[in-house]
Amino acid sequence: MKPRVAVVTFPGSNDDRDALRAVRLFGGEAIPVWHGESDLHGAEAVLLPGGFSYGDYLRTGAIARFAPVMDAVRDHAASGRPVLGVCNGFQILCEAGLLPGALIRNRNLAFICRRVNVRVETSRTPFTSGIEVGEVLEVPIKHGEGQFVAGPETLARIGDEGLVVFRYCSPRGEITEDANPNGSTENIAGLRNEHGNVVGLMPHPEHAVDPDVGPVGGQPLFESLLSSVLATASS
């Protein structure tokens, strides 16, 4: 069987087609889902892609959280199945309360498109299950509002419960200020929820799967996801 991964298109989504392509590249069945739909077509996992949903004129992800499809995404998340938010998708998951914290304008107040390195901080998500803690992945970022912030209590909970999945780091895996492209608190590039099934990150794994057009740090994420889905389905 082919693992089925839904990719939601909101008006203003830009990386939806890239995400669909990446899913197919790793042997998944990619299912495009429209923001106005109320179910995920029986997909085992769902991906919220990058872009500027509804123009993001108010606050990133602030309108998308009210999209009809988000009820299905919430149900999907509540049932413990995998949900991945990339860039705008991460922003939407934070706005929807599915992940803690918020993303604000980059420290330098400008959009940044560049390759960065992230260190994997936990294997306890369906997206990093095949990756060892400490492994460094090269992936691109491209966002204007990717600076992760959270209040002290939330930060403490994130730390206590081990919710950080990725941190910006040097090519050798050191967590340094120089390696932090956007001023994110504690170099946080990606997070998970308490159960680990919902993950959001600012870097773009779907733009890091094909060596012809970029780095390949996104490959193990898709490999992990598709094998986790297969493992769950057969158990």
Partner 1 sequence: MIDKPVHRELGLTDEEYEAIESRLGRRPNRAELAMYAAMWSEHCSYKSSKVHLRSLPTQGSRVLVGPGENAGAVDVGEGIACVFKIESHSHPSAIEPFQGAATGVGGIVRDILSVGARPIALLDPLRFGPLDQAHNRWLMGGVVAGIGQYGNSIGVPTVGGEVKFATCHTSNPTVNVLCLGFAPRDRLIQAKAAGIGNLFVLVGAHTGRDGIGGVSVLASRTLDESSHESRPSVQIGDPFYEKLLIEACMEMIDAGLLVGLQDLGGAGLTCAVSESAARASTGADIDLDEVQLRDRTMEDFEILTSESQERMLAIVTPEDLPSVEAICERWGLTSAVIGRVTADGQVRARLGGDVVAEVPARSLADEGPEYSRPMQPPAYLDDIHDDDPTYSELLMDVGEAFRQVLGSPNVASKRWVFEQYDSLVQGNTIAGPGASAAVLRIEGSLRAVAVSTDGNGRYGYLDPFLGGGHAVAEAARNVACTGARPVAVTNCLNFGTPERPEVMWSFAEAVRGMARACEALDTPVTGGNVSFYNETEDSAIYPTVVVGVIGILEDYRLMLRPSFAAGHVVYLLGETFPELGGSEYAEVVLGKVSGRPPGLDLERELALHRLIADGARMDVLASAQDCSDGGLAVALAEAAILGETGFAVTVPGDLPPHVALFSESASRAVVSIAPERVESFEALAREHRVSFARLGETGGPRIVFDDLFETTVAEARDVYEGSIPGFLSARREAG
185: tokens are 């608190």
- What's the Cα-to-Cα distance from 164 to each of 27, 47, 65, 167, rounded to whole Å? 28, 19, 22, 7
Query: Which member of 76, 143, 204, 207 is catalytic?
Result: 204
Quick check: 38 and 69 in contact, CB under 8 A? yes
Query: Which member of 95, 121, 206, 207 is catalytic?
Result: 206
23: tokens are 């899913």
Residue 206 falls in the annotated catalytic set? yes
The 145-184 contact track toward partner 1, x by CB under 8 A, reads: ----------------------------------------
Rounded CA separation 143/133 (Å): 26
How far from the centroid of its chain's Cα atoms is residue 58's Cα?
21
Please give the backbone phi and psi of residue 23, each rounded to the nearest 5 degrees, phi first.
-60, -45
Query: With respect to partner 1, which residue has the nearer C-beta, 57 or 161?
Result: 57
132, burial (CB in 10 Å: exposed 0-12, middle 13-18, buried 19+): exposed
| Segment contacting partner 1 by CB under 8 A, of 45-53, 119-127, 188-196, 221-229 | 45-53
Gyration radius from the chain CA atoms: 16
Query: With respect to partner 1, which residue has the nearer C-beta, 1 or 58?
Result: 58
Near partner 1 by CB under 8 A: residue from 1, 110, 153, 234: 110
Please give the backbone phi and psi of residue 161, each rounded to the nearest 5 degrees, phi first.
-95, 5
Contacts of partner 1 in 50-109 (CB under 8 A) = 50-52, 54-57
Near partner 1 by CB under 8 A: residue from 42, 212, 234, 235: 212
Helices 16-25 and 219-234 cross at an angle (nearest 10°) of 60
Near partner 1 by CB under 8 A: residue from 114, 132, 152, 177: 114
Binding footprint of partner 1, residue count (CB under 8 A):
30
Residue 204 falls in the annotated catalytic set? yes
Q: How many residues does the chain have?
A: 235
Query: Partners of 83 in the beta sheet?
Result: 46, 198
Near partner 1 by CB under 8 A: residue from 118, 204, 217, 220: 204
User: What is the binding site for partner 1 (CB under 8 A)?
Assistant: 11-15, 17-18, 21, 50-52, 54-57, 110-114, 140, 142, 144, 204, 206-207, 210, 212-214
Residues marked active site are found at 87, 204, 206
